[in-house]
Amino acid sequence: MIVARTKRDLRVSLEAPRRKGRSLGLVPTMGSLHQAHLSLLRAARARCDVVVMSLFVNPAQFGPDEDLGSYPRDEARDLELAEGAGVDIVYAPPVEEVYPEGFATSVEVGGGLTEVLDGAPERRGPGHFRGVTTVVAKLFNSVAPDIAFFGQKDAQQAVVIRRMARDLDYPVEIEVLPTLREPDGLAMSSRNRYLSPEDRERALALSRALRAAESVATAGETRTEPALAAAHAELESAGVEPEYLEARDAETLTPAESLNGRPVLIAVAARVGRARLIDNTVISWIPEGGNR
């Protein structure tokens, strides 16, 4: 496995595969790898000739009061796990390689996709996604992947990156894999390690809330309001106050009031102890006579 620290080293590492017409898969990560990351790496390994994983804690997507300084880092462990998952090249640059002195350019996606949910001004703000799209655009330029792999847990991020790739004519397929969960239902996240045993138990209310919303829809309810009410009840029973719990069109992220049309994203974010957690589910309507 090659570990590239600079854009030049990365380009040199990719010269031979490109010359031979090999397919390239990219898995962007901020490290602190867990099984959800490894599932993306295995999917890339199955579909692509060459797998590139980025390992970079991107300061541009952290707000001033967020956990950039304390974000978990263990590069030696990450490299070992990446090699075990079949990664060919790890791109692990220092911050100054990605954002050199005088860096003054950003990539911003509009269309109402980055100002809601996590991007709402009172939450992480649209600057969070500006940081995400800028670094992912730079990775797409440097790696030129055929396929890039992301997780559904970060549903809004996936929607934003799909739009960026479409609008900027990146010749890359965006593959979004289902959320991977712990046996108790908690969505896998690097920030789960912030949870005390008591907080982890409370955090399970997020996945229970989503299941409650799904159950309301499965029972035949066609409005989002009762589904959200059921989800709120689960959070309240655990003493978890959501930052948001919303129903939105799964592609456009516009507010959704009906469950019997386009797929609906039910998204939740909440702070539990030291951890800010997000989770979501997509509810798709099946015509009468079918199953959801």
What single letter denotes the amino acid at residue 22? R
Q: Find out whether 180 and 39 touch, Cβ atoms under 8 Å.
A: yes
Between helix 155-167 and helix 126-143 the angle, nearest 10°, is 60
What single letter denotes the amino acid at residue 291? N
From the list 34, 37, 128, 232, the catalytic residue is 37
Q: What is the 3-state secondary structure (H, E, C) of 161-217?
A: HHHHHHHCCCCCEEEEECCCECCCCCECCHHHHHCCHHHHHHHHHHHHHHHHHHHHH
Q: Find out whether 63 and 125 touch, Cβ atoms under 8 Å.
A: yes
Instruction: Using alpha carbons, select from 214, 213, 240 the residue that is nearest to residue 229.
Output: 213
Q: Which residue has the tokens 């295995």?
A: 42
Q: Find out whether 245 and 228 touch, Cβ atoms under 8 Å.
A: yes
Task: Decide if 37 is catalytic.
Answer: yes
Spatial distance between the Cα atoms of 27 and 36, rounded to a whole number of angstroms? 11
What stretches of the chain show up as alpha helix (H) in DSSP?
7-19, 35-47, 75-84, 95-98, 126-143, 155-167, 197-218, 224-237
What single letter denotes the amino acid at residue 206? L
Pairing label, strands 147-151, 24-29: parallel
Spatial distance between the Cα atoms of 50 and 98, rounded to a whole number of angstroms? 22
Active-site residues: which are they? 37
